Chain A
Amino acid sequence: MGFPLKKKCLAVTVAEVIMAFGIVAVAILAIVSGFMGAIELNAQSVDMAVASQVGRDFLERVHELGYDSVPEGTFVFDGSRNDPPNADGFPPAPYPKVTANGKDHFLQVRVGTKGATLKVVVVEVVNSRHGRAVFETYLYPGFSTT
């Protein structure tokens, strides 16, 4: 006895091999797409971390310069449009942009007021693809934690 069994064995093995190929193909597809997603997510995460740090650096600089350095009223300074700083040099560096990992992170700074005393500064840091950080702080004259 030989051939019939051998024939059966052959059929199973071919199907098995085809299935294995299929599984490998699906697995490779999943891995590739997962890997691509992970890379994307990782890049997004890195960009956000950079954006957060840039935003933080900017607000620390604003705190350092103090209440009087922030203009009174409502203003928008958009780094992506390359809006120039005012005559007193506000917004300070790192406005209008920071280049990190080969990407430009643009700062958009909005200034407003709250009540009779407080000045409000909102900084939004974005790059062309992803990674966005937005921070808001109120400034009171003489108060700086830096």
Chain B
Amino acid sequence: MKPSRPEYATLCFNTPDSGDELNSKQNRRAIALITTLMMSVVLLMMLVSLVRAVTTQDYLTRGYHDNVAAMYVAESGLADVMSHLEIDGSWQEGFNGEPMQNRPGKYWVKFFSGGGQVPDDASINNIIGNTARPGPRGRVVPKGSALIVVTARVGAAQRQLEAIINSSGVINVEYPLMTSGNIELKGAVTIDGIHSLQGYERVAAGIHSNSRGSGTASVTWEPSNATDKAVVTGKVSSADSRPVGVGIDFGSDASRYDVGAFERAAAQKQFPGVGDIDRQVSLHAGDPAPTIQTAGTTTLPAGKYHKSGNLSVNGDLALDGGELFVDGDLTINGGISGQGAIWASGKVTFKGDATLQSSEKAAVMSKQGVNLLGFNGEEYMEAFAQSDPEVRVLWDATKQALGDTQDLLQNGDPATIVGAGGPLDVQARKLAYYPDSAELPIPVVNPEDALVGGNYLGKLQEKLSAQSQGPSRDFMIRKLGGYKDFFGANTAGTDATVANQFFNRPRVMPGAFAAVVNSSRVDALSKLTLQVSNVSYAKAGSSYFQGVIYTNGHVFAANSVTTLGAIMVDGRGRTDVQPNPLDPSETFKPGQLVMRKGANLTFVEEFFEDGDNALRIRGPVRVRTWASR
């Protein structure tokens, strides 16, 4: 019996048995295998495609991850550059494959300082430069800034970014007086503005408080006597939504004040970003300590100085481009002058004033508060004059001569007021000592005899020297001495040389007035006018500051304060109170401003606008523009 055929075999055998059929059967041999193999190939191709698609997606995902990681590495590189430039504006070492601290990834920054074509990946440091420099790809790097190109790599991913950063920024100030807390003004107050110290173009200037108010008014003013007035050429504004008279209180007698406008519920204003003062101070802990004179003037040449602990300067502090970092309280028992900056992690207290500087300005940054205990020389001299008739005559004559000099400079014909023996020379001989003066001093019989021979300022100095010793007396002696030298005979060099020095850097310097007048430097008269007007403006002895004061604490002014520039009191986020240095039972809150005996604030617009006369501080480095390449 034949074995039965399986069913599938019939596909092969259940066919006619002929030669063609046999050939056909032979042709169909392995057809299943071939078909299977072909299908398998197709399936394998599909599988390979699937695997390739998935691995490609995985590759892309990893690429995306590395690309994102590289972006953060590039940003880290930029942050690292900024941290170096903050400490040293001339830093140009760069990075050559600097590894990240915790993760794979490196960054490169190459500075280019040579001439010629700037490579595409080069960085340019122009922070301490005075003129613009060419950068990569035709960019221009402005003065005071740097163009940084950072290249970062993570795995196979590479990112490049370029940024313009700025270290010595112009402080952006809208108001000459702005606080985060309450403003309390008392006495005669004048708040006005000028565009530039080189001219008299007026601009509106106001005051603003970000305090939303609770309890006492956010902004108050009250007169000290029957004649005091408040003059504010701009707006008096506050974020306090309470009605004017409650949130902003200038009293009920509108004839006592002249204000541009009152604005309640004003938008909160932004304070300039000057960075964390504590951090700035600690960053410079490694800088040398300043050499402080026990008396007289302490001059800080260009450079950075750090003092650990409290610092007291008995005399004037002259900043000749220097920056002083004090990790504690700073007390200056004299004045501050020159161009530079002071950073203090504690309080800053001024007991003197600033000598007259027209083109220079200082920045004072204090974490805990600023006390302006400005010495009122006018009041002191008036009191002194009442006790001595000769002083009365000399003091009145001094003020008269200063006024006449200013009048001549502002209204006189430049060609006729200069020259030896001219009207200005006559006034100078009244004020200060000239060895060739035609008029010799005579013994004083009547008080008016003191005027003979001129040199009023020198004689007042002598009178003061005969008084008992004390900081007020010493302060006035120094101040009158400075004026006397300024108006006195030029012995520092030829008239032309001294006049040139004054012209290039106008300031109160010995012999400057005589040098300009005697050499008939008509082109320097406008600068001389400003110096003399400042003498008048500062009323020869009132507290005077030129620049910007910024604090995270309070500002307290015990005496009449004259400020050319701006005062910013940003106490946000702080709660610690500070005692009144004159009355410890009273305390001041962060953000609070208190001026008890009047204030003269003149907003100088050009200090806060980009330009040659801008007030720049070397604070935190900031990114101005940023782009991924």
Is the Cβ of B102 less than 8 Å from the Cβ of A136? yes
Q: Is the CB of B50 within 8 A of A138?
A: no
Contacts of B40 in A (CB 8 A): 23-24, 26-27
Q: Which of B56-64, B378-386, B553-561, B607-615 contacts A (4 or more CB under 8 A)?
A: B56-64
Q: Which residue on B lies nearest to A5, using beta carbons? A: B22
* Residues of chain B with a CB closer than 8 A to A16's CB: 29-30, 32-33
Please tell me if the beta carbons of B80 and A114 are within 8 angstroms of each other in the complex. Answer: yes
Neighbouring B residues of A120 by C-beta, 8 Å? 101-102
Smallest Cβ-Cβ distance to B66: which chain A residue: A52
Q: Is B103 an interface residue (CB 8 A)?
A: yes
What residues of B have a CB within 8 angstroms of the CB of A35 in the complex?
47, 50
- Taking a contact as CB atoms closer than 8 A, the residue among A10, A20, A122 that contacts B33 in the complex is A20
Closest partner residue, chain A, to B9 (CB atom): A10
Residues of A within 8 A of B73 (CB): 136-137
> How far apart sit A7 and B72, CA to CA, in the bound complex (Å)?
75
Chain A nearest CB, measured from B460 CB (Å): 50
Instruction: Judge if B400 is at the interface, Cβ distance under 8 Å.
Output: no
Closest to A9 in B: B12
Chain A residues with Cβ under 8 A from B620's Cβ? 141-142
| B67 CB to nearest chain A CB (Å) | 9
Closest chain A residue, CB of each to CB of B86: A117
Cβ of B61 and Cβ of A48 under 8 Å apart? yes
- Mark interface residues in B478-510 (1 if CB within 8 Å of A CB, else 0): 000000000000000000000000000000000
- B25 near A: Cβ within 8 Å? yes
CB within 8 Å for A143 and B623 given contacts A20-B32, A49-B64:
yes
- The A1-54 residues at the B interface (CB cut-off 8 A) are 2, 5-6, 9-10, 12-14, 16-17, 19-20, 23-24, 26-27, 30-31, 34-35, 37-38, 41-42, 44-46, 48-49, 52
Q: How many residues of A contact B (CB 8 A)?
A: 55
Binds A, one of B193-201, B274-282, B342-350, B368-376: B274-282
Q: Would B47 and A44 count as touching, CB distance under 8 A?
A: no
| CB <8 Å contact, B68 and A42 | no
Q: Place the interface of chain B in its size category.
A: 35 or more
Main secondary structure of the interface of A (DSSP, over half): helix
A10-B12, A141-B620 known; A135 vs B68 contact (CB < 8 Å): yes
CA distance A140 to B282 in the complex (A): 15
- Are A112 and B13 interface neighbours, CB within 8 A? no
Whether the Cβ atoms of B626 and A116 lie closer than 8 Å is no
Find out whether the CB atom of B83 lies under 8 angstroms from the CB atom of A118.
yes
- B248 interface residue (CB < 8 Å to A): no
CB contacts under 8 Å to A, within B194-216, are none
Q: A126 within 8 Å of B by Cβ? A: no
Instruction: Tell me if A42 and B65 are in contact (CB < 8 A).
Output: no
Residue pair B275, A17 in contact (C-beta under 8 Å): no
- Can you list 30 A-B pairs with a CB-CB distance of less than 8 A? A10-B9, A10-B12, A12-B30, A13-B9, A16-B33, A23-B40, A24-B40, A26-B40, A27-B39, A30-B47, A31-B43, A34-B47, A45-B54, A45-B61, A52-B68, A56-B68, A112-B101, A117-B86, A122-B102, A136-B72, A136-B100, A136-B101, A138-B79, A140-B79, A140-B83, A141-B275, A142-B273, A143-B75, A143-B622, A143-B623
**Measuring CB to CB, which residues of chain B are less than 8 angstroms from any residue of chain A?**
5, 8-9, 12-13, 17, 22, 25-26, 29-30, 32-33, 35-37, 39-40, 43-44, 46-47, 50-51, 53-55, 57-58, 61-62, 64-65, 68-69, 72-73, 75-76, 78-80, 82-83, 86-87, 100-103, 105, 273, 275-276, 279, 282-283, 620-623, 626
Closest 5 CB pairs of A and B: A140-B79, A138-B76, A20-B36, A137-B72, A117-B83
